[in-house]
């Protein structure tokens, strides 16, 4: 997240998966060993930033994401050409549930990732992801709108916010219209490097039944 509260830049398109300027929000991850391993590069830093990136992948059995995180296509799927931002072998290695209003067949990729489109909302996506994860954790990947919807429903147990020394001016925010956040979440564990300040939000109230 930028200092001014944006987790992605504006004007997402095929050239700007994270919106214009949004890539800067992720600079802190690019030097870490986990990121470089995933992308077939050697070396890379460990330490606080690296631990948080690897922690975000460790023990995850399924991922949920919104339509914009999956791709730039809006409205109904014209064809099956779009297979995600991640090329032939996405880095997930498990089932990924993509929330959209427009159905589409499952998409099995190399490396163990299958994209499943879910049109029935966040509860349905979570139920399917929990089943697929078989006891492992479910990660809510993003974007902003999906994370906000899950936060509002109190369905996130543990959230990692990385604040970076960047101003974006425009883009996507998570923290709007979340007035009762303090009744559901407490914030803890501020740790930081020169590239990012990491804050963890942990749910205090019980999830809804």
Burial of residue 7, with CB atoms counted within 10 A of its CB: 0-12 exposed, 13-18 middle, 19 or more buried: buried
Q: What is the DSSP letter of 39?
A: T
Asked if 122 contacts 99 with a C-beta cutoff of 8 angstroms, the reply is: yes
C-alpha 145/C-alpha 124 separation (Å) is 17
Minimum Å gap between C-beta 107 and a second copy is 35
Contact flags string 16-55 toward a second copy, x per CB under 8 A = -----x----------------------------------
Q: Which of 81, 134, 194, 209 is close enough to bind a second copy by CB under 8 A? A: 194
Minimum Å gap between C-beta 41 and a second copy is 25
Q: Which of 4, 108, 123, 157 is close enough to bind a second copy by CB under 8 A? A: 4
Q: Quote the tokens at residue 24.
A: 């800067």
Q: Check binding of 161 to a second copy (CB under 8 A).
A: yes
* Beta pairing, strands 107-108 & 114-118: antiparallel
- Span interacting with a second copy, options 60-68, 76-84, 122-130, 157-165, rule CB under 8 A: 157-165
Q: Which of 69, 109, 117, 168 is close enough to bind a second copy by CB under 8 A? A: 168
- Span interacting with a second copy, options 87-95, 96-104, 137-145, 192-200, rule CB under 8 A: 192-200
CA dihedral of 2, 38, 95, 152, whole degrees rounded to 10: -20
- Span interacting with a second copy, options 58-66, 107-115, 128-136, 168-176, rule CB under 8 A: 168-176
- Interface with a second copy: number of residues (CB under 8 A): 38
C-alpha 115/C-alpha 128 separation (Å) is 12
Q: Which of 119, 183, 205, 207 is close enough to bind a second copy by CB under 8 A? A: 183
- For helices 122-133 and 144-152, the axis angle rounded to 10 degrees is 90
Q: Quote the tokens at residue 37.
A: 């391993």
Q: Which residue has the tokens 């959230």?
A: 159
Minimum Å gap between C-beta 163 and a second copy is 5
C-alpha 27/C-alpha 44 separation (Å) is 13
Q: Check binding of 117 to a second copy (CB under 8 A).
A: no
Q: Check binding of 121 to a second copy (CB under 8 A).
A: no
> Which residues lie near a second copy (CB under 8 A)?
2-5, 21, 161, 163-170, 173, 175, 178-183, 185-197, 199-201
């Amino acid at each position: 997240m930028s200092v001014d509260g944006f987790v992605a830049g504006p004007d997402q398109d095929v050239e700007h998966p994270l919106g214009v300027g949004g890539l800067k929000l992720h600079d802190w991850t690019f030097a870490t060993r986990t990121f470089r391993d995933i992308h077939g590069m050697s070396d890379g830093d460990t330490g606080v930033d690296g631990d948080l990136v690897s922690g975000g992948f460790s023990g995850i059995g399924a991922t949920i994401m919104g339509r914009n995180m999956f791709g730039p296509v809006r409205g109904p799927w014209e064809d099956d050409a779009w297979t995600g931002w991640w090329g032939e072998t996405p880095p997930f290695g498990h089932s990924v549930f993509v929330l959209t209003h427009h159905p589409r067949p499952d998409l099995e990729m190399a490396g163990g990732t299958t994209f499943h489109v879910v049109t029935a909302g966040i509860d349905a996506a979570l139920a399917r992801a929990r089943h697929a994860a078989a006891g492992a954790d479910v990660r809510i990947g993003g974007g902003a709108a999906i994370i906000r919807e899950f936060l509002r429903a109190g369905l996130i147990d543990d959230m990692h916010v990385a604040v970076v020394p960047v101003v974006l001016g425009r883009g996507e925010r998570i923290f709007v219209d979340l007035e009762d956040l303090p009744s559901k979440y407490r914030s803890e564990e501020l740790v930081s490097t020169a590239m990012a300040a990491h804050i963890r939000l942990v749910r205090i109230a019980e999830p809804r039944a």
